[in-house]
C-alpha cells in the first residue's frame, strides 16, 4: 500500500495534508468504518479519494447532486485517476465510457446518485465489479428529519450489508442528534470510528440584518463586492428570477437557478458559474450542494434559511480556498412565519415537529444574537469559541438591556393560561386588550392582564421572538402553535436567573412597517397549517390534488370559526353532504382533538343545516315510543324517514302523512309539526 503523503503529492499536487485529513485517510484506507464531520472546505473529498487509490477494487461514492459528481469526476480525471459517474444527467456516450472502464477493470471511483440504489440491476452490478469501499458524501441526508433528507439514502445500509465492505461517511452539518441517526442507519452492525474536525470557518465573516427594503439591501451588498463571484439564496423560484434581473439591471453579471428549470438549463448555469469569474447566481437551495468552486467570495440570503444546519452548509460554499469571504443573511417576521408553517404543515410526528421548532429557534438565536455570532454558531454544534472579531456583532456590539422583567411577565401569561395560546392572544392579555376571546376565556381577570402596557404590540412581538431565539418557548404542534415553555425558562420564571435582550430589535419594532397581510390572523395560522397538513396527507393517500379534498378558502373558514361539532362543520362554506360524510370527522378531530360519531342520515341532515331539527325529532320519537302516556304499543320512525321530514319540513298533517304514513302521523304528527314550526 502506497504511503498517503506520496500519493498526495504525486496525484493531487499537495505538499501536506490539511489539519485532520491524514488520520482520517489512514483509517479509511485500512478498512475501518468511519464517520467524519469536517467543515465545508476542509477537504472531505480527499479523505475518500486518496484511500480509493490505496485500496484494491472500486470505491463507490454515494453523492446527492449531479453537479458534485461532475466536478469531482472532472478533477480526478484531470489528475490521471479513472473515475466515472452514473446518473440521469449522463449522455449515452458518458454512460458507455463508464461501463467500458468498469468492464476493463480500470475504474477506481464510481459516483452514484442515491436513487440508483433502488434498482436491482444497479445492486447486482455493484456485487460483480469488486467494490471494496462505500463512501457516503453529505451523509446528513440519511437523517429522516433533516433539512436535506433523501429517502434513497436509507438504502445505503442495505447495500453495505449486501456487499459486506467498509463504509466511510462524511458531512459538514450534523449536530449530536443527526450524528446518532447516521450511526444508526449506516453503521447498525458495528460502530464507526468518529472524527469531529470542528465547524469553524475563520475566514468567513458572518452578518445578519433585519429586512428593510430587502432588494435594496442585496443590491447594496453586491455593489460593494462588484466583480466577485457570489451566491444569493432565495426562498422561492420566482424571487430568484426577479432578483437576478435586478442585479443585471444594476450592472452585475447574474443568472438564476432553481429546480423548476429544464435539466439542460440547470447544467448550463452550473457550468457558467464554474467557468466565469465574477458571476452571481441567484438560486434556491437546489443550487450549490457539491459545487466545488473555491473562489466564491460572498454568500447572501435574501430570505431566512430553514435551519441553522442549512445556514451553515450554504454559507460554507464561500471561501473554500481559505481566503476571506463574507456573508449576509436577511430575516423578517414573514420569514419566521413561513418557516413555522412549513414545519406545522409537515407530516412528521409531533415530537419531531417540536424538535424542528427548536432548530428554528436556534437559527433565530443566531439572528438575534447578543454577542459574537461565531461563538453562538459554534456553541450550537458543541464547540467553544471566544469573540472572533470577524462578525458584525464583533465589529459593532449590539445594544442590550436587562429584559428579565418583560420575559417574566410573558412567561407568567403563558403559565396562567395553561400553555394553550399563541403570542397574539398572550399579547392581548399583557397589554390589557379585552378582546372577545379574552373575555370569553375570562382572561381579563388574570393578574397578568394589562401588566405589559409599557410596551406596544410590535415590541412585545419582538420580545416573544427573542424568547424563541433563546429557546425559552416553542410552538406546541399538538396545540396548534400554542406556546410551551422549555426547561430553560423555569429559572427565569422563578427569579433564579436573568436574561438580556436586544434593545435595537425592540426599538425597530416601533417603526417597522406592517407585516404582509396573511390568509388568517396570527392566532389561527398554526391551526390552518395543521388543517393543510391533514389535507395533504389525504390527497397523497388518494393520489388527487389537495384542492379536491377542500380548497384553501374552506380551510381558512375552518381555522377562523373552529367548529366544535359536525353540525357547525356543515355550516362551513365548501363542506357539502358528501364531504361532511367523507372528511368531516377527520378535520373536526384536527380542530378539537376528538372524533364525533354520527349516523350517516344525521350527517346529511347536518349538511343541509337541519342537524338540530333532526336531533329534536329523534328525541320526540323516543319520548313517544310508547305513546303520550307510555302505555301504547311501541312505534318508531326510521332514521331515513326522520331525515326526509327534516328535508321537506311539512307544515300540515297531510303533508307529514305522505312521508310517515297515517299510524306514525297519528302518534308523532302534532309534536313533529310543533318542532318544525319552532325551527322555521
DSSP-derived secondary structure for 64-126 = S-HHHHHHHHHHHHHTT--EEEESTT--HHHHHHHHHHHHTT---EEEE-GGGGG-HHHHHHH
Output the pLDDT for position 297: 92
Q: Which of 304, 253, 307, 255 is nearest to 283 (CA)?
A: 255
- Specify the length of the chain in residues: 680
> How far apart are alpha carbons 426 and 433 in whole angstroms?
10
Each as own residue / partner, the long-range contacts of residues 659-668 (CB below 8 Å, 24 or more positions apart, any chain) are 663/635, 664/635, 664/637, 667/624, 667/627, 667/632, 667/635, 668/620, 668/621, 668/624, 668/637
Q: How far is CA 218 from CA 278, 299, 300, 301, 339, in A?
A: 16, 10, 7, 8, 21
The three grid cell numbers given for residue 553, joined into one nine-digit string? 378558502
The three grid cell numbers given for residue 88, joined into one nine-digit string? 440521469
Phi-psi map region of 495: left, alpha, beta (phi>0 left; psi -120 to 50 alpha)? left
Output the pLDDT for position 401: 92
> How far apart are alpha carbons 609 and 242 in whole angstroms?
48
The three grid cell numbers given for residue 585, joined into one nine-digit string? 370527522
SS3 369: coil
Output the pLDDT for position 517: 45
Q: Angle 114-116-117 (CA atoms, 0-180°, nearest 5)?
A: 75
> How far apart are alpha carbons 215 and 221 in whole angstroms?
10
Low-confidence stretches of the chain (pLDDT beneath 50): 290, 511-517, 594-597
Domain ranges of the chain: 4-196, 200-331, 400-517, 523-598, 611-679
Is 533 within 8 Å of 345 (Cβ atoms)?
yes
Instruction: From the options 3.40.50.300, 3.30.1360.120, 3.30.70.270, 3.40.50.150, give the CATH code of 4-196.
Output: 3.40.50.300
pTM metric for this prediction: 0.66
Sequence-separated (6 or more) residues with CB below 8 Å from residue 525: 337, 340, 341, 481, 518, 519, 559
> How far apart are alpha carbons 289 and 231 in whole angstroms?
12
Output the pLDDT for position 513: 45
Q: Quick one: DSSP state of residue 455?
A: S
CATH (residue range 400-517): 1.10.10.10
Does the fold of domain 523-598 match that of domain 4-196? Answer: no
Task: For residue 598, count CB atoms less than 10 angstroms from its CB and return exposed for 0-12, middle for 13-18, buried for 19 or more.
Answer: buried
Output the pLDDT for position 2: 64
CATH (residue range 611-679): 1.10.150
DSSP characters over 220-251: HHHHTTTTS-EEEE-SSHHHHHHHHHHHHHTT
Sequence-separated (6 or more) residues with CB below 8 Å from residue 137: 44, 45, 48, 61, 62, 63, 64, 68, 170, 171, 290
> How far apart are alpha carbons 319 and 395 in whole angstroms?
20
Which CATH architecture does the domain made up of 200-331 adopt?
3-Layer(aba) Sandwich (3.40)
CB count within 10 Å of CB 52 equals 24
Looking up cell 454568500, which residue turns up?
299
Which CATH architecture does the domain made up of 523-598 adopt?
Orthogonal Bundle (1.10)
Output the pLDDT for position 648: 87
Find how far residue 255's CA is from the centre of its chain. Answer: 27
Amino acid at each position: 500500500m502506497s504511503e498517503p503523503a506520496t500519493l498526495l503529492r504525486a496525484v493531487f499536487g499537495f505538499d501536506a495534508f490539511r489539519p485532520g485529513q491524514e488520520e482520517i485517510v489512514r483509517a479509511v484506507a485500512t478498512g475501518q468504518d468511519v464517520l467524519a464531520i469536517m467543515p465545508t472546505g476542509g477537504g472531505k473529498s480527499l479523505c475518500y479519494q486518496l484511500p480509493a487509490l490505496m485500496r484494491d477494487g472500486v470505491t463507490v461514492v454515494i453523492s446527492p447532486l449531479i453537479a458534485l459528481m461532475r466536478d469531482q469526476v472532472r478533477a480526478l480525471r484531470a489528475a490521471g485517476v479513472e473515475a466515472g459517474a452514473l446518473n440521469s444527467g449522463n449522455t449515452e456516450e458518458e454512460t458507455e465510457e463508464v461501463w467500458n472502464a468498469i468492464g476493463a477493470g480500470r475504474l477506481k471511483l464510481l459516483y452514484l446518485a442515491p436513487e440508483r440504489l433502488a434498482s436491482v440491476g444497479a445492486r447486482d452490478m455493484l456485487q460483480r465489479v469488486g467494490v471494496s469501499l462505500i463512501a457516503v458524501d453529505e451523509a446528513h441526508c440519511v437523517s429522516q428529519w433533516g433539512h436535506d433528507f433523501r429517502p434513497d439514502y436509507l438504502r445505503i445500509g442495505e447495500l453495505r450489508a449486501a456487499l459486506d465492505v467498509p463504509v466511510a461517511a462524511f458531512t459538514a452539518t450534523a449536530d449530536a442528534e443527526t450524528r446518532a441517526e447516521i450511526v444508526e442507519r449506516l453503521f447498525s452492525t458495528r460502530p464507526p470510528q468518529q472524527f469531529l474536525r470542528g465547524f469553524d470557518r475563520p475566514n468567513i465573516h458572518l452578518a445578519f440584518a433585519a429586512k428593510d427594503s430587502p432588494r435594496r439591501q442585496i443590491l447594496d451588498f453586491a455593489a460593494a463586492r462588484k466583480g466577485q463571484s457570489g451566491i444569493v439564496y432565495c426562498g422561492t423560484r420566482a424571487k430568484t428570477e426577479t432578483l437576478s434581473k435586478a442585479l443585471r439591471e444594476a450592472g452585475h453579471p447574474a443568472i438564476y437557478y432553481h429546480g423548476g428549470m429544464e435539466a439542460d438549463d440547470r447544467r448550463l448555469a452550473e457550468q457558467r458559474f464554474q467557468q466565469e469569474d465574477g458571476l452571481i447566481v441567484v438560486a434556491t437551495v437546489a443550487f450549490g450542494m457539491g459545487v466545488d468552486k473555491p473562489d466564491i467570495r460572498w454568500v447572501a440570503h435574501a430570505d431566512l434559511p430553514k435551519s441553522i444546519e442549512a445556514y451553515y452548509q450554504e454559507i460554507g460554499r464561500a471561501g473554500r480556498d481559505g481566503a476571506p469571504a463574507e456573508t449576509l443573511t436577511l430575516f423578517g417576521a414573514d420569514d419566521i412565519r413561513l418557516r413555522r408553517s412549513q414545519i406545522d404543515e409537515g407530516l412528521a410526528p409531533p415530537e419531531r415537529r417540536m424538535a424542528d421548532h427548536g432548530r428554528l429557534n436556534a437559527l433565530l438565536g443566531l439572528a438575534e444574537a447578543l454577542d459574537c455570532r461565531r461563538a453562538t454558531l459554534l456553541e450550537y454544534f458543541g464547540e467553544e469559541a471566544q469573540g472572533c472579531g470577524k462578525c458584525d456583532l464583533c465589529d459593532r456590539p449590539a445594544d442590550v438591556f436587562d429584559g428579565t422583567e418583560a420575559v417574566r411577565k410573558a412567561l407568567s401569561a403563558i403559565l396562567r393560561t395553561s400553555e394553550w395560546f399563541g403570542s397574539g392572544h398572550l399579547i392581548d392579555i399583557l397589554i390589557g386588550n379585552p378582546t372577545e376571546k379574552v373575555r370569553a376565556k375570562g382572561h381579563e381577570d388574570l393578574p397578568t392582564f394589562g401588566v405589559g402596557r409599557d410596551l406596544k404590540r410590535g415590541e412585545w412581538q419582538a420580545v416573544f421572538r427573542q424568547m424563541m431565539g433563546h429557546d425559552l418557548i416553542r410552538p406546541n404542534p399538538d396545540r396548534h402553535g400554542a406556546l410551551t415553555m422549555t426547561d430553560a425558562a423555569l429559572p427565569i420564571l422563578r427569579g433564579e436567573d436573568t436574561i438580556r435582550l436586544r434593545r435595537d430589535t425592540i426599538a425597530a419594532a416601533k417603526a417597522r412597517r406592517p407585516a404582509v397581510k396573511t390568509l388568517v390572523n396570527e392566532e389561527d395560522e398554526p391551526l390552518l397549517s395543521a388543517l393543510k397538513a391533514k389535507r395533504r396527507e389525504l390527497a397523497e393517500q388518494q393520489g388527487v390534488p389537495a384542492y379536491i379534498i377542500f380548497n384553501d378558502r374552506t380551510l381558512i373558514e375552518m381555522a377562523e370559526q373552529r367548529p366544535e361539532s359536525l353540525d357547525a362543520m356543515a355550516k362551513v362554506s365548501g363542506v357539502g353532504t358528501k364531504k361532511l360524510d367523507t372528511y368531516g370527522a377527520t378535520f373536526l378531530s384536527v380542530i378539537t382533538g376528538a372524533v364525533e360519531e354520527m349516523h350517516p342520515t344525521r350527517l346529511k341532515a347536518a349538511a343541509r343545516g337541519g342537524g338540530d331539527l333532526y336531533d329534536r325529532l329523534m328525541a320526540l320519537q323516543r319520548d313517544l315510543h310508547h305513546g303520550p302516556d307510555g302505555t301504547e304499543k311501541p312505534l318508531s320512525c326510521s332514521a331515513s324517514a326522520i331525515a326526509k321530514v327534516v328535508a321537506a319540513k311539512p307544515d300540515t298533517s297531510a303533508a307529514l302523512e305522505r312521508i310517515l304514513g297515517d299510524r306514525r302521523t297519528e302518534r308523532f304528527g302534532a309534536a313533529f309539526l310543533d318542532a318544525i314550526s319552532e325551527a322555521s
